[in-house]
Chain A
Amino acid sequence: MNNIVVFAGSSDPYLVKKICENLSIKPSQVKLGKFSNGETSISIMESVREKDVYVIQSGCGHVNDNFMELLILLNACKTASASRVTAVMPYFCYSRQPDIPYTAKGAPLISKPKEKYTFESHPGTPVSSILTTQRPTSPGARRAVEDILETTIISTLSLEQPIPKKSNGGELHKSPSQSRIPMVPERKENSSEMGSFFNANNAGYKLWVAQAGTLIANLLTTAGADHVITMDLHDAQFQGFFDIPVDNLYCKPIAQNYIQYNIPNYQDAVIVSPDAGGAKRAASIADALELSFALIHKERRSQLPKGPPDASLTSGGGAVLSPKPLVSTSLNGPLSSQDMNPSSSKYVQTTMLVGDVRNKICIIVDDLVDTSYTITRAAKLLKDQGATTVYALITHGVFSGDALNRVSQSAIDKIIVTNTVPQDKTVSFLGKKRVHVLDVSRIFAESIRRIHNGESISMLFEHGW
């Protein structure tokens, strides 16, 4: 192929190598590094004048570093007179703001890795499932308080030690305690800050988390990207944020392929969407394979619970349920902020399964696993409802925080994930038997080839490659 130049960002050189193998070319030489003050340094070692340049960088790992590196690379190619610069982002960072679990301030609630996860959705489904919320076994103990915190999903409170630690020998990301960027608010500032966030003067103001989507799109354009290739965008509307062409590839063909060839008796399986947002994506796979379809639905009602005590999920709601000694200890601690956020205690979250999964194989289909709360809860719910085997079919496996720990202890029997984000850690943590990695390099290679040659890429949407 003439006049094509492919650069690998530092996020996933292995995927780039595979894409280039499929294109029968070699990745071009670029030196990526950092100056001693932390600024990103790049030097492009071969000419890109009048070339068609592709820069491949996934939005994983140290996201902001990788994203800046991508911007600088795009800009350097542009200023070095490349004829066209295409950003290839297998996983598009900032395409989604995590929905659960997060504190009222928008920061995610990060739990410590535990020896035992409950995977309870709170409350349990209104259907016939058994309520299995763990009661604290040793009242008054610090550990028990933590248990309650753990089982309280939208607790506005922080944990004493929010940073996931290594456990089970699994290598989670390194402790960011030396970082000046807080992961979640510390308790001390939390109580005062939360108080001021919700004080009377501020009563009319509803907190919101800034959505960075448009910004990221504009930054890429500003840096000089002429074209963007990505896969399974969380929101298809994201394409509209750009003023340049965006090719959103689909993982669906290879996913379908996997189901047909690797899941025994797939004809009897049920495709499950773990939330309403992903229903369309899951339904399209179910339609294509003529399988039945189920949906897990979460809703927040502004009403106090009438049901069993475990059915209340509120900030501080856990404390109300717990034995007296716990309440008194917690009053000095983080739980005391329950009275600061009275609005959230009116909300009740219910989870329900729409569809019948009894004695069926379930395939959870989702585009992204990050903290893994959604799919591990979904798997638990499906098993409770009588599913025999639970597969999870995921496009982007980010697995941040203690996600791998959660997945390994969850009811998910097998997780199938693509390599848009490097999955070495996932495979080594969960073992080859529980993880299958689908290779997307051929799809990306073919789309690069077609875009370079000015051919249509729409057939890639329907047929795998």
Chain B
Amino acid sequence: MSSNSVKLLSGNSHPELAEKIAKVLGLSLAKIGVYQYSNKETSVTIGESIRDEDVYIIQTGTGEQEINDFLMELLIMIHACRTASARRITAVIPNFPYARQDKKDKSRAPITAKLIANLLETAGCDHVITMDLHASQIQGFFHIPVDNLYAEPSVLNYIRKNTDIANTILVSPDAGGAKRVASIADKLDLNFALIHKERQKANEVSRMVLVGDVRGKSCLLVDDMADTCGTLVKASDMLLDNGAKEVIAVVTHGIFSGSAREKLKNSRLSRIVCTNTVPVDLDLEIFDQIDISPTLAEAIRRLHNGESVSYLFTHAPV
């Protein structure tokens, strides 16, 4: 029988995370050259045989200039592995790009998340591993299995270790995230509050209403992503104005685009914590990071060995 061993491939989007996953798995990354031609087309050279191997390609959705480049890289790498007779190709996409364009919210709006799902399948992807999808319904856009992992167990560990739990209240910055926050609040046996916001345009927040009592409490703002950080900063201001002692923000995907850095610098947040699903370039004192590479590595290991992944939904491997 063939060896059918694991091959880990990394694109250019997040080599540090790929290295970490490889280290946890005790493997080395496959030799691969992903470059850009001078005409800006992407070139992929796979430096070793992957015939009949179980291939995992790690590429995350990130980069204000390069997000589409990284996406094309991923598609071309998948296609290259497919034409090179890989046995199974799994795309490991910690932060799924275009996840927020998942509905036809106005006439003729593109459902780009669905398009991306189709493109991945067309390129030849057999399986997708991702983390904290903006809307878990995106799983339904695929005709192939999608493992949507949760950063929650790692986040819980972080909260237990690094915050004063007794006097904490969890806050969801919008109604959409209420479920996520309620689940964390249940596990920590804490109360939770909710901020209701009215959005008129993408990346802009207009009015906010707080539901719940936060006086004298240390607030944990939990969300799936922080992009321009308009929401987080406004929410933290609002919580402090309503008598909160301090505000800590915990997000899964720290995209921090546009003027996020300045906003955070001038904000009254006492801490901002995100996972390393995307590379973060924030040199702020209040910034802290949670490493989720063990979760991704364990998912890869379990997937390769045909074991159940659901253990990871509630437990964070070390």
Interfacial residues, chain A to chain B (CB-CB below 8 A): 34-44, 47-48, 60-65, 67-68, 71-73, 75-77, 79-80, 93-94, 97-98, 105-108, 110, 164, 173, 176, 178-185, 193, 196-197, 202, 204-205, 207-212, 214-215, 218-219, 221-223, 370-371, 398, 400-401, 403
Contact = CB atoms under 8 A, between A and B. Distances in A.
Given A48-B108, A79-B111, A80-B108, A401 B38 contact: yes
A180 B44 CA distance: 15
Choose among B40, B65, B71, B112 the residue with the greatest number of A CB atoms under 10 Å from its CB: B40
B257 A215 contact: no
Interface stretch (B116-124, B170-178, B266-274, B305-313): B116-124
Interface string B80-94: 100100000000000
Nearest to A222: B122
19 contacts: A34-B64, A35-B257, A36-B203, A36-B258, A37-B257, A37-B258, A42-B110, A67-B68, A80-B107, A105-B35, A178-B65, A181-B69, A182-B36, A193-B33, A197-B31, A210-B76, A214-B79, A219-B123, A400-B37
Interface in B141-185: none
Interface in B15-38: 31, 33-38
Contacts of B71: 64, 68
Contacts of B121: 222
Contact of B115 (A75, A97, A185): A75
Contacts of B119: 71, 219, 222-223
Given A215-B79, A400-B39, A181 B34 contact: yes
Given A182-B12, A202-B47, A215-B79, A110 B38 contact: yes
Contacts of B97: 39
B218 interface: no
Given A39-B97, A80-B108, A215 B76 contact: yes
A381 B113 CA distance: 52
Contacts of A222: 115, 118-119, 121-122
Given A35-B203, A75-B111, A107-B45, A212 B39 contact: no
Nearest to B109: A43
Choose among A178, A214, A219, A400 the residue with the greatest number of B CB atoms under 10 Å from its CB: A219
A401 B83 CA distance: 30
B76 A212 contact: yes
Contacts, number: 209
A40 B48 CA distance: 34
A36 B110 contact: no
Interface of B: 12-13, 31, 33-49, 63-73, 75-77, 79-80, 83, 97-98, 100-101, 104, 106-112, 114-115, 118-119, 121-123, 202-203, 227-228, 255, 257-258
A39 B101 contact: yes
A370 B38 contact: yes
A39 B80 CA distance: 24
Given A108-B37, A208-B45, A210-B44, 12 more contacts: A75-B112, A79-B108, A108-B38, A173-B40, A179-B36, A179-B69, A180-B13, A181-B35, A181-B73, A182-B36, A209-B45, A215-B76
- Return the 8 tightest CB-CB contacts between A and B, nearest first: A210-B80, A401-B38, A76-B110, A400-B39, A36-B258, A107-B35, A400-B38, A38-B64
Given A36-B64, A36-B257, A209-B44, A371 B108 contact: no
A370 B33 CA distance: 21
B123 A38 contact: no
Contacts of B35: 105-108, 181-185
Contacts of B13: 180
Contact of B75 (A41, A63, A73, A215): A215
Contacts of B100: 39
A68 B68 contact: yes
Contacts of B72: 64, 67-68
Contacts of B63: 38, 180
A330 B293 CA distance: 41
Given A98-B37, A401-B38, A202 B108 contact: no
A176 B12 CA distance: 14
A137 to B, nearest CB: 28
A74 to B, nearest CB: 9
A34 B67 CA distance: 11
Contact of A108 (B43, B80, B114): B43
Nearest to A63: B40
A44 B13 CA distance: 30
B104 A79 contact: yes
Contacts of A196: 31, 47
Contacts of A185: 33, 35
A411 B123 CA distance: 43
Nearest to A197: B47
